[in-house]
Amino acid sequence: MTKRKIVVALGGNAILADDASAAAQQAALADTAKSLVQFVKQGDQLIISHGNGPQVGNLLLQQAAGSTAKNPAMPLDTAVAMTQGSIGYWLENAMDKALADEGLTKDVATVVTQVEVAPDDPAFTDPSKPIGPFYTEAEVAAEKQAHPDNVYVEDAGRGYRRVVASPKPINVKEAAVVNALVDADVIPVSVGGGGVPVVREGHQLVGREAVIDKDFASEKLAELVHADLLIILTAVDHVFVNFNQPDQKQLTDVTSAELNQYIQENQFAKGSMLPKIQAALDFVNNRPDGKVVITSLANVGDFLENGSGTIIRK
């Protein structure tokens, strides 16, 4: 089999379920690593990315609760970098053990990644990216009173969450570093949480208060490193149209033209599946020979063996 360069984007469920403790998240990543090692076993070159919506939201809450004049809370871009480091640390350890259990010798390294965005991106005036925990209607009313500057929205029928600006990535500062690691047979963990959002000001990059969608950041990285395949792991084995309706249909092999038609029909929820579909379209449009797979972590084995999942082509 030809060696493929694959960017695998982990959804939040691969890291955090209901228990936000470090031990629980490390346990979830141990299971995640066992699935990811299957790619390494068959000779693929792996680049791992991940979300951080729950983690960065929880970190902001912790900081707000303990903030004082002498020990102020860190800004959002710095909180993104902090969660890149903590999740990367957990993921490195989990991958190290999973690789060793399979008799594989390979290093894993986390790259604290800066992702460039446009300073005039309209997202800065229209917050849309959910972060942190879910709230009931009563809980969100209390949150609004406590934090009047924060914006909260209903998220795909699952409750209310805080939303922040989510500008589109235009460049990944460390893309060449990621490629160098791959060439050195290292597995990089990159664009964690969508990367640290930065804008270019002269010769320097300056952080912005935002969280970049990890699927868009993963796509941009996959594009820049000339990946053969972008795999977006989420909570379901396949993408569906008419989701949760009596006539729902799973998509298996689908073209970009068909997906564009489904978008016109409003088939995909804005807060969940739509960004994944849009990221997939960006990748196959910019890498016409590339493919995208959207599936679940639990389905990785079946995808590798039987091609199961939603496969998107130009």
Catalytic residues, which ones? Answer: 12-13, 129, 214, 276
Q: How far apart are CA 313 and CA 301, in angstroms?
A: 21
Residues 6+ away with beta carbon under 8 Å from 170: 116, 117, 118, 220
List the strands of the sheet with 204-207, edge to edge: 169-172, 114-117, 196-201, 204-207
Q: Which residues sit opposite 234 in a β-bridge?
A: 296
